[in-house]
Amino acid sequence: MAVDESQASAAQAQEADQAETELNLKPWSAFAHYDFTMLWLGGVTMMVAMQMRLFTSAQWIFEETGSEAQLGLLGAVQFLQMPVVIYGGALADVVDRKKLMALTQVVSFLALLALTFAAFSDTLEVWHIFVVQGVTGIVNMLGNSARPAMLSRVVPRSHLTHAVTTNTATFQVAGIAAPIAFGIVFSIWGVGASMAVTTVIAAISVITPFLIRVSGAPEGGSRRVSIQSLKEGFHFVRTHKILPGLYLLDIGVTIFSFYRFLFPIFAEGLYGLGAVGVGFLAASNSIGGILGSVIVLYTAKWQRKGVLVLVATAIYALLLIAFGSIPIFVIGLVIVAGLGATDAVGMVMRQTVVQLTTPDRLLGRASSAHSFAAMGANNVGQMEVAFMSAGVGAGPTMGIGGVVSIFVVGLIWKFVPGVSNYRYMPDAERDAAENESV
């Protein structure tokens, strides 16, 4: 009996140490792991290249055509990606994830190289942008689920929450660098130089997957994607206690409030500014995203994470109304930072819940469901907001989006209790609580 009590005490002490470790990790703790650093570097460079391409394409199209509808059609082109998202998630669970990331980034790099040559030779056309948007979007969707699916392999489980938060925060740093670089390069040297810089950055994302030392091979060896594997992933997400509510919240709000890649419309419609205004708005949004990620880190001991997401989304809705109502650029920068912060809280929590509650063999499919929901909402939102801005103006569009978002938050809070009831506990604390109940 004494031995059993001693063992129980030792186990409880170990659980307490693990819980303390999870709560006291530094924001940069994940970078102590080489493989995480390589995975992160590839993700950051991919994010910078993607954002610079999108901002460059949107600004060039808007200056060439003066049409909000053309920007909205970019969202329609991205609908071609949607069926591929789910297949890409299943693919990430059955093939080598590192090779999948590298191969898909090669295609993006070559497409960017083609746009760069077209821009410098003065042969760039609007349809070139649409083709590249469609092709790279489809290919990237095949590889995007592999990146989050690798996360649980490159850091210990105790580091997962911080790894997700670190990824989000530092990707937002990339979101600051990308629009500022775009604004400067595009304004001074034009579309060709902006595409060239984007292409060089994209080359790094091709190399980094090969520098990751941990295996990217799927558990149980390589297999083929089957209808049954797709059904298994769908069933897991559908019956999950938390994810459907978080996804519905994101979809309902984003469809009526998407603004990030429509900054050319808002910079012109609200403030009368061009590419430089777009760059500052986008950078401010990313700064806010970093602050939102920090908020998540400093609420580690707050178990009611679902309520945190709902409150953050309600604040986001109020900020949308303010964004559309106050035509003062400096105040607009502060509001956009707030939008980025509140949006980041929800994004970090969705990604963290996927990582913490999904087995490795299903991570690709669960991550693809997240991407499917987010991208679908972004694409519809890009069209809806662009077309509405063309009809009623940029300011009223944001105001309407804010009102609708408040309504969506109320519906999710009342009718999808899995979100508001969600409690996060570190593994060690949860195990200790279960042992005490027994």
pLDDT single digits (tens) 92-147: 788 888 988 999 899 999 999 999 999 999 999 989 988 888 888 778 777 777 88
What local confidence, expressed as pLDDT, does residue 35 receive?
Answer: 92
Closest-CA residue to 57 (of 121, 106, 111, 102): 111
> Residue written as tokens 């790894």?
163
What local confidence, expressed as pLDDT, does residue 77 receive?
Answer: 67
What's the burial of 226, exposed, middle or buried (CB within 10 Å: 0-12/13-18/19+)?
exposed
Domain boundaries, the chain: 29-209+239-433
Neighbours of 433 (CB within 10 A): 12
What local confidence, expressed as pLDDT, does residue 353 receive?
Answer: 76
Class of CATH domain 29-209+239-433? mainly alpha
d(CA 382, CA 368): 20
CA-based torsion, 268, 269, 271, 277: positive or negative:
negative
| Tokens coding 432 | 């200790």
Closest-CA residue to 58 (of 355, 291, 211, 264): 264
d(CA 364, CA 349): 17
d(CA 340, CA 53): 20
In this structure, are residues 315 and 338 in contact, taking their beta carbons and an 8 Å threshold? yes
CA 298 to chain centre: 20
In this structure, are residues 61 and 71 in contact, taking their beta carbons and an 8 Å threshold? yes
d(CA 66, CA 126): 12
d(CA 316, CA 336): 10
Low-confidence ranges of the chain (pLDDT < 70): 1-28, 68, 71-72, 74-86, 172, 175, 220-225, 261, 300-301, 424-438
